[in-house]
Amino acid sequence: MKLVNRPRRLRNGAQLRSMVRETRISADTLIYPMFVQEGENICEEIESMPGQYRWSLDRVDELLEKVLQSGVKSILLFGIPDHKDEIGSSAWDPNGIIQKAVHYIKKRYPQLYIITDVCMCEYTSHGHCGILCGRDVDNDKTLEVLAKIALSHVQAGADMVAPSDMMDGRVRRIREILDKNQYTNVPIMSYSAKYASAFYGPFRTAAGSAPAFGDRKSYQMDPHNGREALLEAKLDLQEGADILMVKPGMAYLDVLQSLKQQFYQPVALYSVSGEYAMIKAASMAGYVDEAALVCESAVCMYRAGADLLITYYAMELAKYIQEGRIG
Ligand code: PBG
């Protein structure tokens, strides 16, 4: 057979395949999301996310040593407070769980880059991501609170803030308050295209943040919409976002790719709790090869355009990269 083009030629052997690889992955771009909880001597496995835990600050060293050893250099912090109320007041308390955690981790592990999730749902008694007006979340009232929360995180030592509430105008308000307080160099990673997704189910169990009534569809995006993500990203950039994020991951790679093509800023992808839980459950049942699935899905996320990947499998991935399983 006289064939001029034989794509198989470049697939011949691991060495050649790795030479012509289009996607390169580095542990520098992995972000590990973790949960810190008020209290003592807590290292409690999250039922909906086997292998992930809630940590009190007196035990969190056990986890952080592992994170650093794995080669992961950045964490995304979520807090589980003792006290919840209508307005989520413990979210901006200088003595709140996140503020204490950031302070502690920054002092002990200065080499770790700390990003904090800025939202209210873990702190409000009703579980919504803002201040309620009747049964609806009041956008503009919520902005003031989000700004206060973000500032308190940065004052505690956070390197970057990541607002996940999906209120309109939050990036502008947060940028304003940070700049006014001389934090002009602290970047904002905006959850720009955050969809109203069932993939967050296991997280809500983990953080006790499920809404007490209704859902989040009046602020998080409709999964039917792709172009709207470009609008959200454009607005966030106009308001001063430094990094854009798409969330969830796996089922939303088209959205990631279109943001990557349209804009110049780095784009992060959040592979969320439901994605973790699905792979974990299937592998515990013996239906799939966990490591192979984790590697392949991460590679696909980077191939689709992720500059940064937020994943509960960050430590495993760092290990797989080191072992040359992917890269
Ligand atoms: C807070 C927040 C959520 C997640 C990240 N930040 C939950 C939600 O919006 O309901 C989900 C993360 C995950 O599922 O891993 N608003």
Chain segment 89-111, per-residue pLDDT in tens: 999 999 999 999 999 999 999 99
Helix (H) or strand (E) holding 143: helix 139-156
Average pLDDT, rounded, for the chain: 97
pLDDT score recorded for residue 157: 98
User: Which residue type does 85 have?
Assistant: D
- CB 275: neighbour CB atoms within 10 A? 21
Which residue, chain included where needed, has tokens 């093509």? 261
Taking the CA of residue 117 as reference, the ligand 1 atom at the shortest distance is 6
Whether 164 is in the pocket of ligand 1, judged by its Cβ within 6 Å, is yes
* Residue 10, token pair as written in the block: 């470049």
In the predicted structure, residue 327 carries a pLDDT above the cut 90: no
Which segments within the chain are labelled E, that is strand? 30-37, 43-45, 53-55, 74-80, 113-118, 132-133, 136-137, 160-163, 189-194, 243-247, 267-271, 308-311
Chain segment 147-163, per-residue pLDDT in tens: 999 999 999 999 999 99
Whether 204 is in the pocket of ligand 1, judged by its Cβ within 6 Å, is yes
Closest of 63, 311, 17 to residue 320, by C-alpha: 311
Determine contact, residues 88/124, Cβ cutoff 8 Å: yes
pTM above 0.95, yes or no: yes
Taking the CA of residue 203 as reference, the ligand 1 atom at the shortest distance is 14
CA of 270 relative to ligand 1 center, distance in Å: 10
CA of 316 relative to ligand 1 center, distance in Å: 21
Q: Which of 46, 54, 116, 119 to mutate to test the pocket of ligand 1 (most atoms within 8 A of CB)?
A: 119
Whether 246 is in the pocket of ligand 1, judged by its Cβ within 6 Å, is no
Taking the CA of residue 220 as reference, the ligand 1 atom at the shortest distance is 9
CA of 203 relative to ligand 1 center, distance in Å: 6
Whether 129 is in the pocket of ligand 1, judged by its Cβ within 6 Å, is yes
Chain segment 240-286, per-residue pLDDT in tens: 999 999 999 999 999 999 999 999 999 999 999 999 999 999 999 99
Whether 203 is in the pocket of ligand 1, judged by its Cβ within 6 Å, is yes
Whether 311 is in the pocket of ligand 1, judged by its Cβ within 6 Å, is no
Chain segment 286-305, per-residue pLDDT in tens: 999 999 999 999 999 999 99
Cis amide prior to 248 (ω within 30 degrees) = yes
Catalytic residues: 194, 247
Nearest CA to ligand 1 atom 11: 200
Chain segment 192-233, per-residue pLDDT in tens: 999 999 999 999 999 999 999 999 999 999 999 999 999 999
